[in-house]
C-alpha cells in the first residue's frame, strides 16, 4: 500500500510537472506571437513612415520648384518695372512729314494754258510728335519753293483722360474741324482766317463723352510779327498805311455728337471769338468778332457739312484810312477783305472703298463756300470745288476742278474779297496734288 501511494504520488507529481511545463510553454508561445505581432505592427508603421518620408520629400521638392518660380517671377516683374520706369523716363518721339507736288492748268493764266499747264513743287514738311508721361509736343515746319514757315508748334499736358492743355502755336478752335472742306485748295473761310488757322496762345480741350469743348486765348498771330507775310495762316497784317494787327483774342467752341444709328454720326456745334485790333499808327485799339453754328454728319459712306459765320472788324484807323476793309495776308502776299460779311459753307462727300492695285479708296466731294458782304453794292465771292481724293497707302492724290468768282488766287481782282467786281465771271483751275506722307 505504501509503495502504491508512493507510485501514485510520483505520478501525480509528474502530471503536475507536465501540466506546469505545458502551461509555461503555452504562455511562452503566446508571448512570441504577441512579439511577432508587435514587430509586424512596427514594420507596418516603418513602411508608413517611409511612405510619409517620400511624400514629404516630394512636397519639399515641389515647394523648392515653386519658390524658384516665384523668384523668377519676382525677378521678371522687377525687370519689367525697371523697363517701364526707363520708358517713362524717356520721351517717345515720332518723326513724320510729307513731300508734295502739283500739276495746275488755269483758265485765267494764258501762259499756263498755252503750255498745257505747269508742274510745280508744292512742299516738303517735317512733323515731330512726342510724349513724355503726360507731357506732349507737336510741331510741323514747311518748306515751300518761295518761303519757309511754321505750321504749328505747341507743348501740351494731359491733366486727365478728357482734359488737355496746349501752349504755343496751336490751332484756333473755330467752326468745322479739322477742316471746313475736303479739297486741296480749301474754301472761303480759310482765306478769311476763319478755318485751319494757327495762332500763338494757350488752349484747353475738354472732351467728356459726346461733348467737345475748347477754349483758347491767343496773344497774336503765329510769328508775333504782323509785317511778316511769309506765314501759313491768314491773319490781319501790316503793310503800308494798313497798320492793324490781331491781339488778345478769346475763342470758344462747343460741339455735341449724336450717334442715332449704326454707321451714323451727327455733330452740331457753335463757335465764337472776340478780340482786339491794335493800330500801330493811332496807338489805339479796335475790335473784331466772329460767330456761327456748324454741323457735320456721316451716314455710312455719305457725308454732309454745313456752316454759317458772321464776322465784323471795327478798326481804329487814322483819318483817311477806310474802316470798310482790313488787310489779311499769308503765303508772301496780302489783300483787302470786307470788314463785315456773312460766310456760308455747304459740302458733300461720298467714300468708295476699292481694290485697284495700290489704290484702296476714293472720296468724291463737292465743296461750296461764299462770302456775302454787308456793304451795299459790293460783289459777293464764291468758290466751288468738284473733286476726288485717291488713297494709295501713304500716297494721297487730290484731283480738283476749282471754280471761283471774285476770289483771290483764282483770277479775281485784287480786292476780290472786299469790294470785288460786279461784272466778274467764273474762272476755273484744274489742280492735281500728289503727296507722299511718312
pLDDT for 116 equals 92
Instruction: Evaluate whether residue 9 is within a structural domain.
Output: no
| Model confidence, pTM | 0.79
105 plus 234 within the same structural domain:
yes
Q: Is residue 331 part of a domain?
A: yes
Tell me what pLDDT residue 87 has. 54
Report the 3 state secondary structure along 96-120. Answer: EEEEEEEEEEECCCHHHHHHCCEEE
Does 202 reside within a domain? yes
CA 47 to chain centre: 72
Domain boundary among 90, 116, 145: 90
The verdict on 52 and 146 lying in the same domain is no
pLDDT at 23: 45
Q: Is the pLDDT of residue 12 over 50?
A: no
If asked whether residues 113 and 34 sit together in one domain, one would say no
Bin 240: left if φ > 0, else alpha if -120 < ψ < 50, else beta: left
* Reported confidence tier of residue 4, pLDDT bands at 50, 70, 90: very low
Do 84 and 184 have their domain in common? no
Give residue 341's domain range.
Answer: 98-437
**End of a domain among 90, 125, 141?**
90
Same domain, 126 and 238: yes
Contact of 168 with 198, CB cutoff 8 Å: no
- Between the CA of residue 269 and those of 199, 207, 256, 385, 436, what are the distances in Å? 22, 13, 6, 25, 33
Q: What is the mean pLDDT of the chain?
A: 90
Helix, strand, coil shares of the chain as percentages rounded to 5?
20, 50, 25
**CA Rg, the chain, in Å?**
45
DSSP state of 116: T
The residues, any chain, with a CB within 8 Å of residue 392's CB and separated by 6 or more, are 358, 359, 360
Q: Is residue 12 part of a domain?
A: no
Candidates 222, 177, 219; CA nearest to 199 is: 222
Joined grid coordinates for residue 34: 504577441
In a domain, 10, yes or no: no
Q: Which three cell numbers stand for residue 163?
A: 482734359
Whether 169 is covered by a domain: the verdict is: yes
Categorize the per-residue pLDDT at 54 as very low, low, confident or very high, splitting at 50, 70 and 90: confident
Residue 8 lies in a domain: no
Together in a domain, 51 and 180: no
Question: Is pLDDT of 323 > 60?
Answer: yes
**CA 378, chain centre distance (Å):** 42
Looking at residue 113, what is its pLDDT? Answer: 87
Q: What are phi and psi of 102, to 5 degrees?
A: -125, 145
How far is the C-alpha of 130 from the C-alpha of 160, rounded, in Å? 18
CB 411 within 8 A of CB 106: yes
CB burial class (10 A; 0-12, 13-18, 19+) of residue 31? exposed
pLDDT at 403 over 90: yes
In angstroms, the Cα distances linking 393 to 103, 192, 351, 353 are 21, 33, 16, 13
Do 364 and 417 have their domain in common?
yes
85-117 confidence digits (pLDDT tens) = 555 567 899 999 999 999 999 999 989 989 999
String of DSSP letters for 344-369: EEEEEEEEEEEEETTEEEEEEEEEEE
Q: Please report, for residues 177, 222, 325, the alpha-carbon distance to residue 154 in angstroms, rounded to integers and kept in the order given.
A: 18, 11, 32
pLDDT at residue 199 in the model: 98
Name the grid cell of 21.
511545463
Instruction: State whether the Cα torsion 271-308-274-170 is positive or negative.
Output: positive
User: Which residue in 427, 424, 385, 382 sits closest to 402, CA to CA?
Assistant: 385
* 133 and 68 in a common domain: no
In a domain, 17, yes or no: no
SS in 3 state form for 391-418? EECCEEEEEEEEEEECCCCCCCCCCCCC
> Which CATH number fits the domain that encloses residue 147?
2.40.160.10
> For residues 414 and 337, what is the distance between their CA atoms, to the nearest angstrom?
10
Give the span between the Cα atoms of 72 and 259, in whole angstroms.
Answer: 49
Instruction: Please give the average per-residue pLDDT across 405-417, as a whole number.
Output: 95
Task: Indicate whether 300 and 237 sit together in one domain.
Answer: yes
Q: Are residues 294 and 147 in the same domain?
A: yes
Q: Do residues 131 and 91 lie in contact, with contact meaning Cβ atoms separated by under 8 Å? A: yes
Angle at alpha carbon of residue 266, lines to 260 and 268, rounded to 5°: 130
Residues 85 and 108 in one domain: no
Q: Are residues 85 and 220 in the same domain?
A: no
- Write down which residue in 52, 69, 90 finishes a domain: 90
What domain count does the chain have?
A: 2
**Mean pLDDT, residues 260-281 taken together:** 97
8-state DSSP, 242: B
Q: What is the pLDDT of residue 82?
A: 60
Amino acid at each position: 500500500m505504501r509503495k502504491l501511494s508512493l507510485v501514485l504520488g510520483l505520478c501525480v507529481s509528474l502530471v503536475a510537472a507536465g501540466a506546469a511545463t505545458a502551461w509555461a510553454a503555452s504562455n511562452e508561445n503566446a508571448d512570441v506571437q504577441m512579439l511577432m505581432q508587435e514587430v509586424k505592427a512596427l514594420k507596418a508603421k516603418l513602411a508608413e513612415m517611409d511612405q510619409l518620408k517620400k511624400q514629404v520629400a516630394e512636397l519639399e521638392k515641389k515647394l523648392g520648384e515653386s519658390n524658384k518660380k516665384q523668384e523668377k517671377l519676382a525677378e521678371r516683374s522687377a525687370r519689367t518695372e525697371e523697363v517701364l520706369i526707363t520708358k517713362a523716363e524717356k520721351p517717345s518721339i515720332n518723326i513724320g512729314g510729307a513731300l508734295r507736288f502739283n500739276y495746275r492748268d488755269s483758265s485765267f493764266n494764258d501762259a499756263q494754258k498755252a503750255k498745257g499747264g505747269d508742274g510745280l513743287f508744292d512742299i516738303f514738311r517735317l512733323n515731330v510728335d512726342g510724349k513724355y508721361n503726360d507731357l506732349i509736343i507737336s510741331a510741323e515746319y514747311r518748306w515751300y519753293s518761295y518761303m519757309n514757315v511754321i505750321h504749328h508748334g505747341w507743348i501740351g499736358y494731359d491733366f486727365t483722360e478728357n482734359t488737355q492743355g496746349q501752349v504755343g502755336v496751336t490751332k484756333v478752335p473755330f467752326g468745322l474741324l479739322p477742316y471746313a472742306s475736303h479739297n486741296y485748295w480749301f474754301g472761303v473761310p480759310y482765306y478769311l482766317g476763319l478755318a485751319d488757322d494757327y495762332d500763338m496762345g494757350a488752349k484747353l480741350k475738354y472732351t467728356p463723352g459726346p461733348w467737345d469743348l475748347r477754349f483758347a486765348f491767343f496773344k497774336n498771330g503765329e510769328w508775333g510779327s504782323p509785317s511778316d507775310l511769309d506765314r501759313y495762316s491768314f491773319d490781319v497784317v501790316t503793310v503800308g498805311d494798313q497798320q492793324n494787327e490781331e491781339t488778345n483774342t478769346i475763342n470758344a467752341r462747343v460741339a455735341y455728337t449724336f450717334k442715332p444709328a449704326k454707321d451714323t454720326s451727327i455733330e452740331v456745334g457753335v463757335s465764337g471769338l472776340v478780340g482786339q485790333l491794335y493800330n500801330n499808327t493811332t496807338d489805339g485799339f479796335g475790335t473784331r468778332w466772329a460767330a456761327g453754328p456748324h454741323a457735320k454728319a456721316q451716314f455710312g459712306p455719305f457725308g454732309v457739312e454745313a456752316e454759317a459765320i458772321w464776322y465784323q472788324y471795327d478798326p481804329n484807323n487814322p483819318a483817311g484810312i477806310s474802316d470798310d476793309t482790313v488787310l489779311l495776308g499769308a503765303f508772301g502776299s496780302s489783300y483787302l477783305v470786307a470788314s463785315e460779311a456773312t460766310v456760308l459753307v455747304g459740302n458733300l462727300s461720298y467714300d468708295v472703298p476699292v481694290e485697284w492695285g495700290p489704290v484702296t479708296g476714293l472720296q468724291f466731294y463737292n465743296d461750296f463756300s461764299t462770302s456775302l458782304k454787308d456793304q451795299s453794292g459790293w460783289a459777293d465771292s464764291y468758290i466751288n470745288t468738284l473733286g476726288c481724293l485717291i488713297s494709295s497707302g501713304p500716297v494721297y492724290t487730290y484731283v480738283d476742278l476749282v471754280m471761283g468768282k471774285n476770289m483771290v488766287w483764282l483770277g479775281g481782282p485784287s480786292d476780290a474779297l472786299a469790294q470785288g467786281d460786279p461784272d466778274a465771271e467764273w474762272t476755273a483751275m484744274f489742280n492735281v496734288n500728289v503727296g507722299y506722307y511718312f
